[in-house]
Amino acid sequence: MNRHREGIVGLCIFIFTAILLVGCTNNSKEFSRDFDSADISSSAKEISSTNEADRKLKIGFSMDTLVEERWEKDKHMFRESIEALGAEVEIKAANGNDALQIAQAERMISQGIDLLVLVPHNAEAAASIVGKAQMADIPVISYDRLVMNANVDLYISFDNEKIGALQGHAITQLVPEGKYVYIAGAETDNNAHLMKKGVYEVLQPFIQDGKIEVVYDQWTDAWMPENAKANMKAALLANENQIDAVIAGNDATAGGVIEALEEQGLSGKIPVVGQDAELEGILRIVEGTQSMTVYKSIKSLTEQAAEIAVKMAGGEIISTVTTINNGKKDVPTILLTPVVVDQSNIMETVIDDGYHMKDDVYQND
């Protein structure tokens, strides 16, 4: 009997111990699972945070064209400036095609850029690009040319009215009286309108006094030299070659103008002014077929634009003293100062600044 009881007690102790062991094991497993889950979650957050911190900001640069020499400089200098700041950049040029520029910009937006820098081909059409970017919460900087009627975050350029005024002052000093031709830039480019405004602010007193007559004034489609040449040929024909001075929208259009003058044996006899300080324009100044140009330091423009782009992409708010209304809002604006270049100061401007090499400028000497 006692042995029977002892057997029962022993069996109960064994069963109770087994239950305790199983319970402890299960609790141990539950604890292990909870710990591992929390540890993994914490690690994932740390990795995610680290990856976010290590991820480079990506800037999109949507350009109108690379036809003119100066835009190639913008492209390369902007890339160098962005990469020097530790960010990445994707650059697309639309070859003067609105539809292509919109498609390229939308592709960059969909791929997740942090900010878009935009050089519009058409100041009005590019408003749709700004709208798409801001729907994706991507800030937009209007570079060199202002996008009209759009919620642009910032505009950086040169003072284009001043550029026109510099052209006007230079040409009126050379030719204070006579028949003038104005071969303007592209009508779709807001800068061309601003430069024209600056030119006419200088010319107007001379016109009112009867000293200057603008006998031909025409926009140049897409800023193309061949279109400028056609315009100049039309001006010469309409005025029987009796032209005293020409203001061209930029150095590329000045090149087209001078080709038309050469065909009539007038190259170097009629003062022509341009702007952009392209190498071809500087070479013409050296040889005497172009009177002056306006230098816009692309180095300064690209460096400042890149610095602002990276700051804005990182969430920093940029405040400016100046604003320009684009038809929709007063856009925060940064305007850089342009400089006149003629035969007297080529060395201390475009050469000293590294924009052109001395050997290239004086290659024919």
In the predicted structure, residue 326 carries a pLDDT above the cut 80:
yes
Written as six digits, the tokens of 195 are 């430069």
Distance CA 185, CA 101 (A): 20
For the segment 53-58, the average pLDDT, to the nearest whole number, is 82
In the predicted structure, residue 357 carries a pLDDT above the cut 70:
yes
User: Domains of the chain: which residue ranges?
Assistant: 58-158+298-336, 160-276
- Percent of the chain's residues with pLDDT above 90: 83
In the predicted structure, residue 19 carries a pLDDT above the cut 90:
no
- Given the candidates 3.40.50.450, 3.40.50.2300, 1.10.1270.20, 3.40.190.10, the CATH classification of the domain at 58-158+298-336 is 3.40.50.2300
Bigger pLDDT: 69 vs 228: 228
Distance CA 269, CA 359 (A): 27
CA geometry: angle at 158 spanning 156 and 164, to 5°? 145
For 301, half-sphere exposure in the C-beta direction (CA atoms, 13 angstrom radius) is 30
For residue 125, what are the contacts with CB-CB under 8 A and spacing of at least 6?
Answer: 98, 102, 188
For the segment 325-354, the average pLDDT, to the nearest whole number, is 97
Please give the backbone phi and psi of residue 295, each rounded to the nearest 5 degrees, phi first: -90, 125
What pLDDT is recorded for position 53? 56
What pLDDT is recorded for position 363? 87
Distance CA 212, CA 250 (A): 21
For residue 283, what are the contacts with CB-CB under 8 A and spacing of at least 6?
Answer: 361, 363, 364
Bigger pLDDT: 142 vs 25: 142
pLDDT in tens, 237-287: 999 999 999 999 999 999 999 999 999 999 999 999 999 999 999 999 999
Q: What pTM, to 2 d.p., does this model score?
A: 0.81
CATH code 3.40.50.2300 for 160-276: yes
Please give the backbone phi and psi of residue 57, each rounded to the nearest 5 degrees, phi first: -65, 145
- Residues pairing with 93 in the sheet: 63
Taking alpha carbons only, the member of 201, 144, 193 closest to residue 167 is 201
For the segment 107-112, the average pLDDT, to the nearest whole number, is 97
Q: Do domains 58-158+298-336 and 160-276 have the same CATH topology?
A: yes
What pLDDT is recorded for position 37? 33
In which band, very low, low, confident or very high, does the pLDDT at 39 lie, cut at 50, 70 and 90? very low
What pLDDT is recorded for position 85? 98
* H helix or E strand, kind and range, residue 151: none
Contact status, residue 125 vs residue 102, Cβ threshold 8 Å: yes
Distance CA 196, CA 89 (A): 33
| Amino acid identity for residue 232 in this structure | M
pLDDT in tens, 179-198: 999 999 999 999 999 999 99
Contacts 24+ apart (CB under 8 A), 198-201: 198/160, 198/161, 198/162, 198/163, 198/164, 198/165, 198/166, 198/167, 198/168, 199/164, 199/165, 199/167, 199/168, 199/247, 200/164, 200/168, 201/161, 201/164, 201/165, 201/168
